């Protein structure tokens, strides 16, 4: 637990772990009336939290077909029956992917084993590009599709030098590829790309001119050198680096009591 604030006696909401912090920060980016395709885990927790606190009109979707459920608990699979529990529509994989392709989905959240300075993501394998790999991961799933087609891609991911790498072992899903204009040149829809990366240390955006990852907020108690030390590539820095506003009591209460009462996700810290 990271103690929050100064000399007061700690109560339950004065401390939070990094998973709770990342989820609460992510939730604040999802505005009311937006659409978001999420997976299980932290992104789903963030979307649920946003829906309960800030964005009652957030339309949560899952790639297997669930649209607008009243999520009663955290899904275990992006295709399980919770993903369309009292939903607007129990549709299909093509329905969701086509919603994304025709521009109706604002946000998606992705994870991965590695990310580079352009927000490109590896969820396929460690080791050379030629089989057999040293470690095989699941592959794209819907990640490449969502990163290609949704307007804004977000990541919630722990950060260290193994994960923030200068060169991906395999580029599963597109960030800004090799920099400005590269997505459009490659054939991806204009105006799309990585938006925010939220780690246990900081919040990153992407620099307009270079499309490189840029530190925008440091979490409470985190220093800039610490952030750079936990990245295998050189980070850019916003002119101002406001400290991330820590989770509020409300956020933590709803997250712990309603979103993830069994600590499936927030217990993983």
Partner 1 sequence: MPQGELFVPPQPDALRDWFRHKPKHLTRKVTTAREAIGQLVRDGDYLAVGGFGTNRIPTALLHEILRQGRTGLGMSGHTATHDFQIMAAGPCIDRVDVAYVVGLEARGLSPAARRLFEGGLLKVTEWTNAALAWRYRAAAMGVPFLPSRIMFGTDTWEYSAARAIQCPFTGMKLAALPALSPDVALIHVHEADVYGNCRIQGISVSDPDLARASRRVIISAERLVPHDEFRRDPTRTVIPHFCVDAVVEVPYGSYPGNMPYEYFSDEEHLQAWLEAERTPESLRAFLDKYILGVEDFPQYLHLCGGLPRLQKLRRLELMLDTEGRGESTERL
Taking the least distance from each CB to partner 1, the nearer of 121 and 227 is: 121
Rule CB under 8 A: is residue 190 a binding residue for partner 1?
yes
Nearest CA to 192 among 238, 146, 157?
146
- Which 1-60 positions form the footprint of partner 1 (CB under 8 A)? 32-35, 39-41, 56-59
Taking the least distance from each CB to partner 1, the nearer of 75 and 247 is: 75
Query: Smallest distance from the beta carbon of 35 to partner 1, in angstroms?
Result: 5
**Does the bond joining 132 to the residue before it have cis omega, within 30 degrees of 0?**
yes
**Active-site annotation holds for 184:** no
Choices 20-28, 197-205, 222-230, 258-266; region in contact with partner 1 by CB under 8 A: 258-266
Neighbour count for residue 47 (Cβ, 10 Å): 28
Could you say which of 25, 30, 48, 83 contacts partner 1 (CB under 8 A)? 83
- DSSP states along 164-201: B-SS-SS--B-SSTTSTTHHHHHTPPTT-EEEEEE-SS
How many residues make contact with partner 1 (CB under 8 A)? 85
Nearest CA to 101 among 139, 140, 148?
148
Query: Smallest distance from the beta carbon of 18 to partner 1, in angstroms?
Result: 18
- Which 159-188 positions form the footprint of partner 1 (CB under 8 A)? 168, 170-174, 177, 182-183, 186-188
Catalytic residue among 20, 63, 216, 251: 63
Contact indicator for 110, 46 with CB cutoff of 8 Å:
no
Query: Smallest distance from the beta carbon of 116 to partner 1, in angstroms?
Result: 12
For 64-79, give one letter per residue: b (16+ CB within 10 A) or e.
bbbbbbebeebbeebb
């Amino acid at each position: 637990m990271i103690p929050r604030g100064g000399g007061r006696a700690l109560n339950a909401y004065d401390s939070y772990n990094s998973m709770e912090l990342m989820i609460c920060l992510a939730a604040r980016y999802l505005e009311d009336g937006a659409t978001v395709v999420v997976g299980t885990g932290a992104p789903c927790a963030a979307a649920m939290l946003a829906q309960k606190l800030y964005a009652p009109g957030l339309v949560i979707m899952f790639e297997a077909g669930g649209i607008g459920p009243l999520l009663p608990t955290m899904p275990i699979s992006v295709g399980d029956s919770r993903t369309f529990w009292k939903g607007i529509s129990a549709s299909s994989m093509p329905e969701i992917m086509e919603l994304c392709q025709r521009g109706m989905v604002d946000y998606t959240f992705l994870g991965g084993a590695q990310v580079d300075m352009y927000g490109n993501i590896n969820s396929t394998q460690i080791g050379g590009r030629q089989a057999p790999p040293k470690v095989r991961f699941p592959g794209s799933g819907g990640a490449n599709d969502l990163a290609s087609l949704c307007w804004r891609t977000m990541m919630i991911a722990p950060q260290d030098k193994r994960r923030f790498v200068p060169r991906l072992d395999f580029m599963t899903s597109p960030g800004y590829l090799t920099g400005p204009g590269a997505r459009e040149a490659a054939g991806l829809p204009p105006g799309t790309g990585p938006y925010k990366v939220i780690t246990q240390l900081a919040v990153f955006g992407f620099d307009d001119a270079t499309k490189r990852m840029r530190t925008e907020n440091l979490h409470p108690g985190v220093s800039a050198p610490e952030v750079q030390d936990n990245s295998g590539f050189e980070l850019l820095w916003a002119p101002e680096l406001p400290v991330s506003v820590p989770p509020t009591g409300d956020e933590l209460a709803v997250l712990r009591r309603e979103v993830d009462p069994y600590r499936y996700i927030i217990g993983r810290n």
